[in-house]
Structures are given as structure tokens and as C-alpha cells.
Structure 1
Amino acid sequence: MGEFWPVPDVLEYLAGSWRVERSVLDLASGAEGQFSGTTFFGPLDGGGLLHRESGTFVWQGVPRPAERTLRFLPGSSPGSADVRFADGRPFHDLDLATGHHVADHPCSADLYRGEFTVRSADHWRTVWRVRGPAKDLALTTDYVREG
């Protein structure tokens, strides 16, 4: 088996509940944080998946509840999705047909570059690098299927 695990149908692959562990490193200051929680991908009216993430984010020793919601809409092929924020604004494209994808998301003057890697039927990872005048971050998230 190679380094990547191809995903013929990304929405089918993501559906369900995942355990989430994320590390956040501020490369400018050296500050570190961790998020631990769950992500659930459930059916979205009109097609696609609603991604709901919730858990605890610890930044410099201070824990806080954290959550976010994204929409994963059907892409141009079964291996792809159009990822949007909860309010419908575009976030990034996603194509896991080969098990690996790189996506960019400009945010004000900062650039978010995400690398998505599928390791197995039950494990995938995202690594976001955020660079710009406001941020210099590295966020690494591991998703492990629950159940």
C-alpha cells in the first residue's frame, strides 16, 4: 500500500463520526495549542454533508469550548467536494480521488494552504499552513473514525 489511500466517493467516505485531534503552533511566537473533540458528517438537505465539529481548544494552558460548522457539497466528480463555511461562503475545493489534495484559501492578506492526506479507510489528516502579515501558523489535524 502506498502513502495515500484513494477515495472514490468523498462524501460517502466522510459520512459519520470522527475523533479529532489538532495541534496548533504559532510559528512567530512559539505558542502552542491543542483541540480535542469530534466531528460528525451528517446528511445536508439538498445533498452533501453538514460537518459539525465540537470539543475543547486549549491555548497556552487555557481550555475553552470550540465548535465550527462547514458544508461539504457534491463536487464535479464523486471523489471531490466543494467545501463551504456554514453561511455558504466558499472555503476550498477538495478532491481525494488519489488520497491526496492541496487547496488554497485566501483570507484578507493571509493565505491558508491545506494539504489533505487519506491514510486508510479510518484515518485522514489535514495540515494547514497559514502565512501572512497577521498569522504564521501550522495546524495539523488527525481524524480517526469512531465506532
Structure 2
Amino acid sequence: MGEFWPVPDALTYLAGSWRAERTVRDLANGQTGEFSGTTVFGPLEGGALLHHEFGTFAWQGVPRPAERTLRFLPGASPGTADVRFADGRPFHDLDLTSGHHAADHPCSADLYRGEFTVLDADHWRTVWRVRGPAKDLVLTTDYARER
């Protein structure tokens, strides 16, 4: 078995509930934060998924509730996804057929570069590197399927 676990259909693989653990490192000043929560990929019309993440984010030891919502739509190629913000704006594409995918998202003056790695049937990871005039961050999230 190699480093990556190929996924024939990203939406089928992601469907369901996942435990999410995220670390956030500010490389400019050394500050860190942590998110702990749940990510649910629930069904929408047309085979799409609604991604809802909720939990607690602690920055410099101060915890607060956190959540976000995304839409994962069927992509242009079989087995891929078109990831959108909750309001429909494009975020990034997602192709896990090799078990690994890289995507970019320009946001104002910043560039978000994401790497998605499928480790096995029940574990995957994202690493977002954010660079810009005011940001120098690494966000690493490990997902484990909840049964």
C-alpha cells in the first residue's frame, strides 16, 4: 500500500460524519490555535453534499464556538467535486481519485494552497498554507470517520 489511498468518488467517500482536529500555526509570530469538532457531509439534491463543521476553536488558550458551511457539488469529471462557499461562490476543485489533490484559492491579496490526502477508508487530512501581506499560516486538519 502506498502513501495515498485512491478514492473513486469523492462525494461518496466524504458522505457522513467525521471527527475533525485542526492545528493553526501563525508562522510570522509563532502563535497557535486548535479546533476540535465534527464535520458532517449531508445529502443535498443532485448528489451534492452540504458540509457543516462545528466545534470549539481555541486561539492562544481562549476557546470559542466555531462553525462553517460549504457545498460540495458533483465536479466536471466523474468522481470529482466542485467545492463552493455557502453563498455559492467558488472555493476549489477536489479530485481524490489518486488519493491526493492540491488546490489553490486566491482570496484578496492572499493565496490559500490546499493539499488533500486520503490515508485510508476512514482517515484523511487537509493542509492549507496561507500566504499574503498580512498572513503566514499553516492549517492542518485530521479527519476520522465517526461510526
TM exceeding 0.5? yes
How far has the Cα of 1:64 moved from its partner? Answer: 0.3
Counterpart AA for 1:66:
A
How far has the Cα of 1:45 moved from its partner? Answer: 2.5
Aligned residue number for residue 116 of structure 2: 116
Counterpart AA for 2:84:
R
Counterpart AA for 2:45:
D
Q: How does 1:1-147 map to 2 (within 5 A)?
A: 1-147=1-147
Percentage identity across paired residues of the two chains: 83
Instruction: Calculate the TM-score normalised by the size of structure 1.
Output: 0.98
How far has the Cα of 1:59 moved from its partner? Answer: 0.2
> What is the CA RMSD across the aligned residues, in angstroms?
0.7
User: What is the CA–CA distance in structure 2 between the aligned matches of 1:72 and 1:11, rounded to whole Å?
Assistant: 7
User: What is the CA–CA distance in structure 1 between the aligned matches of 2:135 and 2:25, rounded to whole Å?
Assistant: 11
Q: List per-residue Cα deviations over 1:98-119 (Å, max 9, x = no partner).
A: 0000000000000000000000
Counterpart AA for 1:109:
A
8 Å Cα contact 1:10/1:78 also seen in 2: no
User: What is the CA–CA distance in structure 2 between the aligned matches of 1:79 and 1:29, rounded to whole Å?
Assistant: 40
Of 46-55 and 81-90, deviating more is: 46-55
Counterpart AA for 2:120:
S
User: What is the CA–CA distance in structure 1 between the aligned matches of 2:20 and 2:3, rounded to whole Å?
Assistant: 21
SS at 1:46 equivalent: helix
Structure 1: where are the runs of 5+ without partners?
Answer: none
Count of aligned residue pairs for this structure pair: 147
8 Å Cα contact 1:22/1:34 also seen in 2: yes
Counterpart AA for 2:54:
S
SS at 2:8 equivalent: coil
User: What is the CA–CA distance in structure 2 between the aligned matches of 1:84 and 1:135, rounded to whole Å?
Assistant: 22
| Segments ≥4 residues shifted beyond 6 Å | none
User: What is the CA–CA distance in structure 1 between the aligned matches of 2:119 and 2:21, rounded to whole Å?
Assistant: 15
User: What is the CA–CA distance in structure 1 between the aligned matches of 2:140 and 2:36, rounded to whole Å?
Assistant: 12
8 Å Cα contact 1:39/1:51 also seen in 2: yes
